[in-house]
Homo-oligomer: A and B are copies of this chain.
Amino acid sequence: MGESTGNRTDIGRVPERGVVDRDAIEAVLDEGMIAHVGLVAGDGGAAHPVVIPMLYARLGDRLLLHGSPASRLLRTAKSGVEVCVTVTLLDGLVLARSAFHHSMNYRSVVVFGTATEVTDWDDKVAALDQLTDHVLPGRMAVLRPHTDKEVRGTTVLSLSLEECSMKVRTGPPVDDAEDMEADVWAGVLPLGVAVGAPEPDPLMPPRDAPDHVAAWSRGAI
């Protein structure tokens, strides 16, 4: 795994699950909706890890995070502390002939780095647009522009994708030879994101959901 760009992103235990293809990494980040953001809180002896789920978006070779300026996590990250941002897509349950070889099919990307605050006004507006359109492509086109108050009232952090890595598991279970005749169903149960019928805001006059809502999907299984 010498191709990865930093020691921390070397894949230690199961090298064949490591991926260094930048397109594949970007595809996972573009398909995901929630990142788990880790940082070290506290100082010295009281230092402890904190992991928080957050919305995110990718813009080029940067990962964007945002939230209230009052958010403890964003305030900590703003100050320049290192973060670890992990995005995981669960693709299936792998049902083997022994409990030991049960597994999951998944794709996960881990990004290490120091997040910096986006302060340039136009960059910040572009980031906010992307944070909305990442989850719901086409959404910004139907919304009014952000107000100055809203832009000021949001903290946006940007993290380089330079130091990142990806792990993947795909395919059927891999069982021990002595279990291959076991009287048990083995295979994969594919998982993905289910979408329900759009639920209109009760305060909205009746109207049909537009295509960017009605036709929303995230991957297909």
User: Which residues of A approach B to under 8 Å, CB–CB?
Assistant: 8, 12-13, 33-34, 36-41, 47-53, 55, 68, 70-72, 82-86, 88, 90, 92-93, 95, 97-100, 102, 104, 106, 108, 110, 112, 128-129, 131-132, 135-136, 139-140, 142-144, 146-147, 150, 153-154, 172-173, 179-180, 182, 184-204, 207-210, 213, 216, 221
Docked-complex contact A191 and B200, CB < 8 angstroms:
no
Docked-complex contact A194 and B193, CB < 8 angstroms:
yes
Docked-complex contact A49 and B53, CB < 8 angstroms:
no
Docked-complex contact B84 and A99, CB < 8 angstroms:
no
* Neighbouring B residues of A196 by C-beta, 8 Å: 92, 189-192, 221
With A98-B150, A189-B213, A190-B196 known as contacts, the answer to whether A182 contacts B144 (CB < 8 A) is: yes
Docked-complex contact A190 and B185, CB < 8 angstroms:
no
* Neighbouring B residues of A108 by C-beta, 8 Å: 53
Docked-complex contact A201 and B182, CB < 8 angstroms:
no
Docked-complex contact B50 and A97, CB < 8 angstroms:
no
Cβ of A124 to closest chain B Cβ, rounded Å: 12
Find A110's partner among B51, B92, B146 (CB 8 Å cutoff): B51
Other than the given A38-B38, A39-B49, A40-B40, 12 more pairs (CB < 8 A) read A8-B50, A13-B72, A33-B104, A37-B51, A52-B110, A98-B150, A100-B146, A142-B184, A185-B204, A186-B200, A187-B209, A191-B195
With A34-B104, A193-B191 known as contacts, the answer to whether A47 contacts B50 (CB < 8 A) is: no
Q: Give 8 A-B contacts (CB < 8 Å), ordered by A residue.
A: A8-B41, A13-B71, A49-B50, A49-B84, A92-B196, A99-B131, A185-B198, A196-B221
Docked-complex contact B100 and A150, CB < 8 angstroms:
yes
With A49-B82, A51-B38, A106-B53 known as contacts, the answer to whether A190 contacts B195 (CB < 8 A) is: yes
Docked-complex contact B86 and A52, CB < 8 angstroms:
yes
* Neighbouring B residues of A95 by C-beta, 8 Å: 136, 139, 213
Docked-complex contact B40 and A97, CB < 8 angstroms:
no
In the assembled complex, the Cα of A34 lies from the Cα of B110 at a distance in Å of 15
